[in-house]
Amino acid sequence: MGGIRTLTVWCPDWPLVAAGVPGVEPAVAVVANRVVATTAAARAEGVVVGQRRREAQSRCPEVVVLERDVDREVRRFEPVAAALDALTPRVEVADPGVVAFPTRGPSRYFGGDHALAAQALELVEVVLGGTGAARVGIADSSFAAVLAARAAAWEGTEGVLIVPAGETPAFLAPLPVTTLERPALTDVLVRLGLTTLGAFAALPAADVVGRFGTEGRQAHRLAAGEDAHPPDLRRPAEELAVTMELDPPAERVDACAFAAKALADELHATLESRGLSCLRVAVEVETDHDEVHARLWRHEGALSAAAIADRARWQLDGWLSSAAASRPRGGIRRLTLIPDDVVPATGRQLGFWGADAERTDRVTRAVARVQALLGFEAVRVPERCGGRGPAEQLRLVPAGAVDLGDSRNATDEGWVREPWPGRIPDPQPAVVHPEPIPVDVVDATGRTVAVSGRGVLSAPPAVVVGGGPSRTVRAWSGPWPADERWWDPDTHRRRARLQVVLDTDDGDEAHLLVLEHGQWGIEATYA
Amino acid sequence: MGVVDVALSQLADRVAPVTLATEQRLAGPAALHPVLPEGGLQRGWSVAVEGMGAWSIAAALVAPVQGSEGWAAVVGVPAFGLVAASGYGFRLDRVVVVDQPPPGRWAAVVAALVDAFDVVLVAPPSVVAARDARRLRARARERGALLVHLDGGRTWPEAVDVGLRVGPSRWEGLEPGHGHLRARRVVVTGTGRRLPGTPRRSELWLPGPDGRLAVAPPRHQSARPVPVPVLDRAG
């Protein structure tokens, strides 16, 4: 038998349950303007996962649109995982909303699969308190167990679907290949006419490996009702675990996440040098009051160091916001990562973009080294945001907070869709002074040029004094008035901008001047 | 490190692909071909840009390197206009911005970046020690990284491989009282160790009316009528 009998608890629509939205209210969670989760009420109106936000809104005008917040989802899910700790220590969280554990021991203890499922369901429903539903699926592999849990929702068997031992391949056979969630592979299979898992599983294994490689072989095993990797019954060698002592104990979650990233790098290096990969990683956190919190996360060789750091952060967030009795009282003293279920690394099939992944790894490591030299905030990456002035159209976020290998939509040119009337037209200035350089702009009579409340200049600018030798204004345009955030007295800013071309011995000099509180300054230079 | 680790790393070294000389070449943007040696740059070179328009030229130079999955790092230049750079093709999803390191750490930070980044744009806080400059040059050559000096190479003790100076510029589109800055004509001069002899000059749009770097056709030479010699009937 190639799989471990697993019980999976699935909480549908978790992004919305975590946000506190009741199922009877139509709401969706979106990422980059695409729907990733819906409530039952939204589904009744025809909103489907994968639609664009506008399409969802056209189908259901009163739908509430929420931006997905993975941190919040995992934090709110921690109590659910913690509740199942009572049944077995090997509870594993795959994604927020999905938690699984092997049934062998607990099933015998509770007297059978049905009793176990009922127990699990009851424990979870106590934690959820009626805010969300839970479904339980039991099957011979974790992949099939998730699908069984999803099927339980439809077949209405009181939220539980148990696939009897040995019948998993038959259960999986009629399901579509899209459930494998490997779009590149699924595309090819569909074009070859293999639309069900049963049809795919019926192919000879050798042919699948020859055509699709290791990844295909893993998918083939999943479709046949086995686990992607044969279970490794050896205990992991103790020296594979990596530990970091934090002295002084870390009080902030961020510092801990930063340490977790460095640890994860070390773990990956250790595993790689032995040609190994792990299916799960246990993150163990110990405080200086001797409280320990451990959580198993699914890894399967697919988690980057940044992803492990994220999970460590989520785990801490969840622990800190749990019930007062189980909350930690001290600072974090020790962080340990233990690889679980270590298997020989079969290597990843590098596609055309294989070199890219390696390059991104190198870049990420270099970034980490520079952060160690200069500090976490010293290395940042840009993200577009809306604004009128040249400095307001970009925001810099710490590089450690993003996955550099991801295609980051926030850097696309079309990311900011809102029009920002009064924005200085393109081309943008190449030099954006961190603080405007104070200057004086005078008209032909020597008086400072002012801008009236209606955005009219008192007189044409003639000379710019300061920030270098006095220069005459050859051409100018504006003003572009910007009266921003007038509704908030603390952040209200009234500015006016002027484009000028100054005559110098070396040709033209073009600047963007800004007037605020009666003081002119060079905001940016077109260099 | 165990015996297995040593053996694996030795094996990795042996099977590492050999880089061909052609892979060291970096094609520059078409408009800059006249002022770059053989129309491009090589990995491991140092480039200095100066003048009013220098940073835009730098952005245009870096864009093709990022295009083929390269990464750029901007170190210690908080005023570098990334939005303007993106107008010349600079990719914002392949750039990292690093705060200016204190002078004592500058060399260490840039060395760490040269290891992984394809282009590192710098403006050192003080003159770089000759020893550090030599080491960085060797490392950049070994790792195939381009070093771009946004301060014109003032703080670099060695001669740079390519120096681009942006000369007098003329903006179009802005009139006294109306319009807005639209296009600019500049003269770019190429000098440096790899361009010996008379400096090469080229007239460019930076940016042109379409927002891109382009070669500017020479303008009408003069508006004054050339005096035509009158034939002397007597002679």
Q: What is the pLDDT of residues A266-320, one digit of tens each?
A: 888 888 787 777 778 888 898 888 888 888 887 766 677 777 887 888 788 778 7
Residues of A in contact with B9 (CB under 8 A): 273
Q: Which residue of B has its CA nearest to A361?
A: B116
> Among A356-365, A405-414, B225-234, which stretch is predicted with the lowest mean pLDDT?
B225-234
- pTM, whole model, 2 decimals? 0.56
Confidence category of residue A349, pLDDT binned at 50, 70, 90: very low
Mean confidence (pLDDT) of chain A: 84
Q: CB-based burial of residue B217 (10 Å sphere; 0-12 exposed, 13-18 middle, 19+ buried)? A: exposed
Interface test with A, best of B5, B66, B74, B96 (most A CBs within 10 A): B96
Q: Work out the percent of chain A whose per-residue pLDDT is above 70.
A: 93
User: pLDDT tens digits, residue range A390-432?
Assistant: 888 898 988 877 778 777 777 887 788 788 888 888 899 999 9
Is B231 strand, coil or helix? coil
Among candidates B95, B108, B180 on the partner chain, residue whose Cβ is nearest the Cβ of A382? B95
Question: Pick from A24, A67, A66, A29: which is nearest to A45 by CA?
Answer: A24
Q: Does A240 touch chain B (CB under 8 A)?
A: no
Token look-up 């394809």 returns B118
Residue A352 clears pLDDT 70, i.e. is over it: no
String of DSSP letters for A92-136: EEEETTEEEEE-HHHHHHHTSHHHHHHHHHHHHHHHHTTSS--EE
Among candidates A363, A413, A475 on the partner chain, residue whose Cβ is nearest the Cβ of B174? A475
Residues of A in contact with B93 (CB under 8 A): 407-408, 411
Q: Which of residues 170-199 of A touch B (CB under 8 A)?
A: none
Confidence category of residue B13, pLDDT binned at 50, 70, 90: low
Token look-up 């520059």 returns B28
Q: Which of residues 118-147 of A touch B (CB under 8 A)?
A: none
Determine the Cα–Cα distance for residues A215 and A218; give it in Å rounded to an integer. Answer: 5
| Beta pairing partners, A257 | none
Token look-up 């040059």 returns B137
3-state helix, strand, coil in chain B (%, to 5): 35, 30, 40
Residue B14 clears pLDDT 70, i.e. is over it: no
Interface test with A, best of B170, B181, B185, B186 (most A CBs within 10 A): B181
pLDDT for the residue A235: 55
Q: Which residue of B has its CA nearest to A425?
A: B180
String of DSSP letters for B60-113: HHHHHHHHTT--EEEES-TTB-HHHHHHTT--GGGEEEEPPPPGGGHHHHHHHH
Pairing relation of β-strands A507-516 and A493-504? antiparallel
- Residue A169: C-alpha distances to residues A174, A380, B182 (Å): 9, 49, 66
Q: Work out the percent of chain B whose per-residue pLDDT is above 90.
A: 52
Confidence category of residue B167, pLDDT binned at 50, 70, 90: confident
User: pLDDT tens digits, residue range A158-188?
Assistant: 788 888 888 889 999 999 988 888 878 888 8
Distance of CA A240 to the CA centre of its chain: 28
- Residue A226: C-alpha distances to residues A35, A138, A149, A167, A223 (Å): 32, 13, 17, 12, 7
Compute the average pLDDT of residues A470-489.
89
Confidence category of residue B106, pLDDT binned at 50, 70, 90: very high
Q: CB-based burial of residue B154 (10 Å sphere; 0-12 exposed, 13-18 middle, 19+ buried)? A: exposed
Q: Does A3 touch chain B (CB under 8 A)?
A: no
Residue A461 clears pLDDT 50, i.e. is over it: yes
| Beta pairing partners, A102 | A6
Say whether A407 and B101 touch across the interface (CB within 8 A): no
Confidence category of residue A153, pLDDT binned at 50, 70, 90: low
Is A260 strand, coil or helix? helix
pLDDT for the residue B17: 53
Say whether A428 and B176 touch across the interface (CB within 8 A): no
Min Cα separation A514/chain B (Å): 15
Q: Does B156 touch chain A (CB under 8 A)?
A: no
| Beta pairing partners, B46 | B147
Q: Does A506 touch chain B (CB under 8 A)?
A: yes
Pairing relation of β-strands A276-287 and B214-215? unpaired
pLDDT for the residue B186: 93
Residue B74 clears pLDDT 90, i.e. is over it: yes
Residues constituting chain B: 235
Q: Are B207 and B87 in contact (CB under 8 A)?
A: yes
Say whether A507 and B108 touch across the interface (CB within 8 A): no
Cβ atoms within 10 Å, residue A487: 7
Residues of A in contact with B174 (CB under 8 A): 475-477, 499-501, 510
Token look-up 């080229």 returns B202
Is A11 strand, coil or helix? coil
- Cα dihedral A345, A351, A357, A359, rounded to 10, equals 120
Among candidates A382, A426, A510 on the partner chain, residue whose Cβ is nearest the Cβ of B97? A382
Residue B40 clears pLDDT 60, i.e. is over it: yes
Q: Which of residues 38-77 of A touch B (CB under 8 A)?
A: none
Pairing relation of β-strands A160-162 and A242-250? unpaired
Q: Are A138 and A117 in contact (CB under 8 A)?
A: yes
Determine the Cα–Cα distance for residues A212 and A204; give it in Å rounded to an integer. Answer: 12
Q: Which residue of B has its CA nearest to A399?
A: B96
Among candidates A356, A374, A510 on the partner chain, residue whose Cβ is nearest the Cβ of B181? A510
pLDDT for the residue A387: 87
pLDDT for the residue B182: 92
Q: Does B67 touch chain A (CB under 8 A)?
A: no
Q: Which residue of A has its CA nearest to B56?
A: A430
Residue A353 clears pLDDT 50, i.e. is over it: no
Say whether A374 and B4 touch across the interface (CB within 8 A): no
ipTM of predicted assembly, 2 dp: 0.83
Interface test with B, best of A358, A363, A498 (most B CBs within 10 A): A363
Phi-psi region of A111 (alpha: psi -120 to 50; beta: other; left: phi over 0): left
Q: Which residue of A has its CA nearest to B5?
A: A273
User: pLDDT tens digits, residue range B189-209?
Assistant: 999 998 888 889 999 999 988
Determine the Cα–Cα distance for residues A464 and B31; give it in Å rounded to an integer. Answer: 34
pLDDT for the residue B75: 96
pLDDT for the residue A356: 64
Min Cα separation B156/chain A (Å): 22
Is the Cα dihedral B86, B92, B96, B100 positive or negative?
Answer: positive
Q: Does A472 touch chain B (CB under 8 A)?
A: no
Q: Which of residues 113-152 of B touch A (CB under 8 A)?
A: 113, 115-117
Determine the Cα–Cα distance for residues A392 and A194; give it in Å rounded to an integer. Answer: 52
pLDDT for the residue A70: 80
Question: Pick from A257, A261, A327: which is nearest to A293 by CA?
Answer: A327
Min Cα separation B54/chain A (Å): 6
Say whether B84 and A477 touch across the interface (CB within 8 A): no
Determine the Cα–Cα distance for residues B216 and B206; give it in Å rounded to an integer. Answer: 9
| Biggest CA pair distance of chain A | 97
Is A143 strand, coil or helix? helix
Is A301 strand, coil or helix? coil
Determine the Cα–Cα distance for residues A367 and B95; give it in Å rounded to an integer. Answer: 11
Q: Between A and B, how many CB-CB pairs are < 8 A?
A: 166
Question: Pick from A101, A112, A118, A148: which is nearest to A6 by CA?
Answer: A101
Interface test with B, best of A270, A374, A449 (most B CBs within 10 A): A374
Among candidates B81, B175, B179 on the partner chain, residue whose Cβ is nearest the Cβ of A431? B81
User: pLDDT tens digits, residue range A66-91?
Assistant: 888 887 888 788 888 888 888 888 88
Pick from A112-116, A310-314, A480-484, B124-128 the range whose average pLDDT is largest. Answer: B124-128
Say whether A431 and B79 touch across the interface (CB within 8 A): yes
Interface test with A, best of B43, B52, B106, B188 (most A CBs within 10 A): B52
Confidence category of residue A460, pLDDT binned at 50, 70, 90: very high
